[in-house]
Amino acid sequence: MKPPINKAVVTLAIGDLYARMGKSTHPLMKNYSEKVNADFIIINDPIISKATGLPAKYEKFQLYDILSRYQRVIFVDSDIVILPTTPDLFKLIDIDVFAAVSEESFSGAKLEKEVTQKELGSVEWSRPYFNSGVMVIPTSARELFNPNNPKLPYWAAGEFRKQHPTLLNDQPFLNHLVNKNKVEFYELPYKFNHTRAMPGSNDRFNSFMIHFSGASGHRYGERLDQIKLDSNVAKNPLLMKLSMKYPLYRWLADRLNMYFIFYLFKKMQRQK
């Protein structure tokens, strides 16, 4: 008899944009969940917003309820392509450890650490500033996602946000809590969350999870088109092999596809 599944791979897809992303990325996530013997859950109902009035950007806090039903969760943003080469994160990370990829050295981490401590209280910041697009979360860290945290409404809609228009939403808040609560933290290699801030976009298929964060994703055209193209590569063993082995092939393929050519044409038309 098979052991009961007490793990889940969870993603968030609220709104038309993320539903469209999910048409490309969710089948790959489902394949991965089957590979690691976990349930696959798509959060697509704005339960938090309905219950608390918080913006839909905080629906990630539905993980609080999910973690009451599962021992461990891998959370993955819907704009992430999980490649078939991705190893089992549940086996790589100890059962009671929170894990994520650091962006301490290349993002707006410094500003966000300063703002969170000014607005939410000073903490001993000993963990690296992580990207919340990929997280391995044990049930022992469930309280991080409590939607009834009394400081969450202030963080979501405080007047201070007008002074910091680029300030992110859940990510700085979760980082602050991880340090405040001294959550045991493991820093994942960047290959588990390869954003456009990382060097070597041509080499991205040698990573495991490609994250198309930001409006332009990985630089080669419209974000949705890039997600679709990379998802198609992930589903094709030959294209995967070529992309992994030959960076020049990947460089040419990124620039010679019809989506990117059309994108450049539209961009030139707008500049006239």
Question: Is 131 in the same domain as 49?
Answer: yes
pTM of the model: 0.93
206-to-6, 191, 246 alpha-carbon distances in Å: 30, 8, 10
pLDDT value, residue 66: 97
* Residue 218 reports pLDDT greater than 60: yes
Q: 144 phi and psi, to 5 degrees?
A: -55, -30
Based on the domain organization, do 25 and 84 belong to the same domain? yes
Residues 24, 150, single domain; the answer is yes
pLDDT, residue 1, reads 44
Mean pLDDT of 237-265: 89
Q: Extract the tokens encoding 222.
A: 């419209």
Average pLDDT over residues 2-17: 86
pLDDT tens digits, 158-205: 999 999 998 999 999 999 999 999 999 999 999 999 998 877 789 999
Which CATH number fits the domain that encloses residue 166? 3.90.550.10
pLDDT of residue 4: 57
Domain membership of residue 236 as a residue range: 218-271
Q: Is residue 199 part of a domain?
A: no
Q: What is the mean pLDDT of the chain?
A: 92
Verify that 123 and 225 share a domain, yes or no.
no
Q: How many domains does the chain have?
A: 2
Average pLDDT value for residue range 219-243: 94
Same domain, 110 and 171: yes
Same domain, 140 and 241: no
Structure confidence at residue 168 (pLDDT): 92
C-alpha dist (Å) from residue 83 to 29, 93, 220, 224, 237: 9, 19, 19, 17, 11
Residue 207 lies in a domain: no
Position 202 in a domain: no
Q: For residue 272, what pLDDT is reported?
A: 67
Same domain, 156 and 266: no
Question: Average pLDDT in the 255-271 region?
Answer: 77
Size of the chain, expressed as the number of residues it contains: 272
Asked whether the CA dihedral 186, 30, 20, 258 is positive or negative, the reply is positive
* pLDDT at position 261: 78
Find tokens 């894990």 and name the residue: 99
Condensed to tens digits (0 to 9), the pLDDT of residues 73-97 reads: 999 999 999 999 999 999 999 999 9
Rounded to a whole number, what is the distance in angstroms from the first to the last CA of the chain?
A: 67
Q: What is the pLDDT of residue 75?
A: 98
Same domain, 92 and 37: yes
What type of residue is 210?
I
Q: Looking at the structure, do residues 150 and 33 belong to the same domain, yes or no?
A: yes
